[in-house]
Amino acid sequence: MLTTLSRTAALLGAGAAMALGSQALAKDVGGVACQGPPPFHCEATGCTAPLIAQTGNAVETGSGRKFFLDYPCDLKPGEKVTFVLNLHGGGSIGNWQRHYFPIVDLKDRYRLVVASPSGSDLGWNPAKDDAYLQAIVERVYADFGASNIKAFWLAGHSLGGQTSNRLLVTEPYRSRLTGWVSLSGGRLGSRREEVRAPIPGPGGQPATPPAGAPMRLVADAAVLPDFAFSHIYETGEHELTAAGLPGGSPWAQKLKCGPQTVGRKIVDTQAGYVSDSRVQANPNPIWGGMAAPGAAQIYLYPACADGKIVADIVRLNKGHTEGLEPNITEEIVKLMMAAK
């Protein structure tokens, strides 16, 4: 599925990457020095495959595997933070996700701690990856202080969203979870065929699995968990079926929210960092094109019980793989911050 690439053009060479390493600040949490700008971060002009291919600035000691850990460099002792575990989609890696959903750019403003790991074999394998992810979560809680983490969010794109949905009903996630941001990775209460148009196969006909073959989902989002948390669902307009976004939300009903209301339209004049720039055998708008400026429509379910947030976001004229633009990324973070 996803690989690496860019907004527009070339960027950091080896010299520039070395310069980044020299900018480490005095702050050091759990042996990870905070840097400004963040390490292995794309410039506004674009990304390159060698930069995106970097696997992290931190090491999970049990497995020896790297991951990215980003946090405010001016973090004060005892300061409250929001922790986000940011999971990539199938065929991708952590630094692609770090730029697809670039909340790292907002870590200082909104006091975010963001862990962006890379799964096994460009995906998430329970046998290979669950212990690794649990260890990252436990490490962040230990290093930053459990009492200092005021909120914990799972975020994931595509397979990363489905994996988040699988994990959130288990520990150590369930008892800590504030919410789940699903980036084209399942909408709670909706069957996949209700919110995802079939990608055309050769000749423009719908690509369907062999007769009798089950749909391969890591977790079925139509099955509602038995505990309450906030849920933000984001999708590209082209990913939806001809019926468009459902007018109601079973999850919002479960949380006793009000009916769906049309919120603000967010306009971005700047493109996201990444897209799937591989040559596609059958290019189509559902999968997505190159990253570009755009607009997104927000749909809200107000007055949910206990201060929970339920929202749908449709990025107009976008598909599955175009990286999120800066303004809509910030709007999602604002919704996250509003959740109790």
pLDDT in tens, 168-189: 999 999 999 999 999 999 999 9
Domain containing residue 90: 14-196+212-338
**Average pLDDT for residues 6-28, to the nearest whole number?**
38
More confident residue, 44 or 128: 128
Residue 157: closest CA among 47, 263, 275: 275
Q: Does 207 reside within a domain? A: no
Q: Is the pLDDT of residue 26 over 90?
A: no
Sign of CA dihedral 296, 297, 303, 306: negative
Range with the lowest mean pLDDT among 209-218, 282-291, 303-312?
209-218
Q: Does 6 reside within a domain? A: no
Q: Work out how many domains the chain is built from and give that number.
A: 1
Q: Is the pLDDT of residue 5 over 90?
A: no
Q: What pLDDT was estimated at residue 216? A: 63
Q: Is 55 exposed, middle or buried (0-12, 13-18, 19+ CB in 10 A)?
A: middle
The model's confidence at residue 23, banded by pLDDT at 50, 70 and 90, is very low
Q: Is 10 exposed, middle or buried (0-12, 13-18, 19+ CB in 10 A)?
A: exposed
C-beta of residue 47 within 8 angstroms of C-beta of residue 7: yes
Q: Does 243 reside within a domain? A: yes
Q: Does 128 reside within a domain? A: yes
Q: Is the pLDDT of residue 9 over 60?
A: no
What is residue 139's three-state secondary structure?
helix
Whole-number Cα distances in Å, 274 to 22, 219, 220: 26, 26, 28
Q: Does 228 reside within a domain? A: yes
C-beta of residue 299 within 8 angstroms of C-beta of residue 312: yes
C-beta of residue 231 within 8 angstroms of C-beta of residue 180: yes
Q: What pLDDT was estimated at residue 198? A: 83
Contacts of 216 (CB under 8 A, 6+ apart): none
Q: What pLDDT was estimated at residue 88? A: 98
Q: Is the pLDDT of residue 18 over 70?
A: no
What is the token pair recorded at 169? 């009903």
Q: What is the pLDDT of residues 86-126, one digit of tens each?
A: 999 999 999 999 999 999 999 999 999 999 999 998 999 99
What is the token pair recorded at 151? 């909120």
> In the chain, what percentage of residues exceed pLDDT 90?
79
Q: Pairing mode, if any, of strands 112-117 and 81-87?
A: parallel
**What proportions of the chain, in percent to the nearest 5, are helix, strand and coil?**
25, 25, 50
Q: Does 8 reside within a domain? A: no
- Domain with 79 in it: what CATH number? 3.40.50
The per-residue DSSP string of 183-200 comes to ESS--TT--HHHH-PPPB
pTM of the predicted model over 0.85: yes
Q: Does 1 reside within a domain? A: no
Q: What pLDDT was estimated at residue 28? A: 87
Q: What is the pLDDT of residues 230-262, one digit of tens each?
A: 999 999 999 999 999 999 999 999 999 999 999
C-beta of residue 234 within 8 angstroms of C-beta of residue 181: yes
Q: What is the mean pLDDT of the chain?
A: 89
Contacts of 175 (CB under 8 A, 6+ apart): none
Q: Is the peptide bond before 206 cis (omega within 30 degrees of 0)?
A: no
C-beta of residue 51 within 8 angstroms of C-beta of residue 17: yes
The model's confidence at residue 282, banded by pLDDT at 50, 70 and 90, is low
Alpha carbon distance 153, 230 (integer Å): 9
Q: What pLDDT was estimated at residue 16? A: 35
Q: What pLDDT was estimated at residue 202? A: 60
Residue 296: closest CA among 259, 329, 338, 273: 329
Q: Does 227 reside within a domain? A: yes
Q: Is the pLDDT of residue 19 over 60?
A: no
Q: What pLDDT was estimated at residue 203? A: 59
How far does CA 249 lie from the centroid of its chain? 21
Q: What pLDDT was estimated at residue 204? A: 57
Q: Is the pLDDT of residue 141 over 90?
A: yes
Q: What is the pLDDT of residues 42-64, one digit of tens each?
A: 988 779 999 999 999 999 999 99
